C-alpha cells in the first residue's frame, strides 16, 4: 500500500477540488491518504467558509462563475460531498493548528471528520514516510 500525503495551502475552489478529487482517486486505488490543510487552505475545512469558495477569485467574476456553472453542468461532486466520501472511505483529513489560531477558528468550526493535526507527528509519521507528497 502506498502512503500519500496531500497538502492544500489554498482556498481557491478549483485547487481545493483538484486536491480532494486527486485524494479520492488515490484512496480508491488502494493508497493510504492523509490530507493536510494549512495557510489559506484552512478555509476549505471551515464548515461555513467551505461553501463560499470560488474558482478564480482574482479574475473577473464572470470567469469564475462560468467555471462553476460548467462544473455544475458536468455533475461534479460538491466540496462537502467530497469530504463525506473521503472520510467514509478512510482518508485522514487534518487542519493546521497554527492556522486555526491565525484565522480565529476553533476545532468546532471544522467540517465533520476533520481534526487538528499534531504537526510533529504529521511531519514525522506522514510526510517523511510518504511514498508521494502532493501539494496544491
Indicate whether 110 pLDDT > 90: yes
Residue 8 pLDDT > 90: yes
Q: Is the pLDDT of residue 2 over 90?
A: yes
Please report the pLDDT score of residue 104 as a whole number. 95
Say how many domains are in the chain.
Answer: 1
pLDDT digits (tens, 9 = 90+) for 57-83: 888 999 989 998 999 999 999 999 999
**For 85, phi and psi rounded to 5 degrees?**
-60, -45
pLDDT at 25: 97
pLDDT digits over 13-60, tens only?
999 999 999 999 999 999 999 999 999 999 999 999 999 999 998 889
pTM exceeds 0.85: yes
| Per-residue model confidence (pLDDT) at position 39 | 95
**Residue 110 phi, psi (nearest 5):** -80, 150
H helices present in 2-118, as ranges: 13-28, 61-73, 79-88, 97-102
Closest by alpha carbon to 126, among 35, 62, 52? 35
Domain with 29, as residue range(s), is 3-135
For residue 11, give the CATH number of its domain: 3.40.1260.10
- Quick one: pLDDT at residue 58? 87
Amino acid at each position: 500500500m502506498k502512503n500519500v500525503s496531500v497538502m492544500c495551502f489554498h482556498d481557491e475552489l478549483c485547487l481545493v477540488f483538484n486536491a480532494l478529487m486527486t485524494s479520492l482517486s488515490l484512496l480508491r486505488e488502494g493508497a493510504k491518504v492523509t490530507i493536510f490543510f494549512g495557510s489559506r487552505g484552512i478555509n476549505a475545512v471551515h464548515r461555513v467558509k467551505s461553501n463560499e469558495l470560488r474558482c478564480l477569485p482574482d479574475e473577473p467574476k464572470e470567469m469564475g462563475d462560468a467555471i462553476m456553472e460548467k462544473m455544475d453542468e458536468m455533475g461534479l461532486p460538491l466540496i462537502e460531498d467530497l469530504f463525506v466520501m473521503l472520510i467514509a472511505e478512510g482518508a485522514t483529513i487534518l487542519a493546521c493548528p497554527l492556522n486555526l489560531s491565525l484565522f480565529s477558528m476553533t476545532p468546532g468550526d471544522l467540517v465533520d471528520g476533520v481534526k487538528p493535526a499534531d504537526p510533529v507527528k504529521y511531519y514525522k509519521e506522514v510526510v517523511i514516510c510518504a511514498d508521494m507528497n502532493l501539494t496544491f
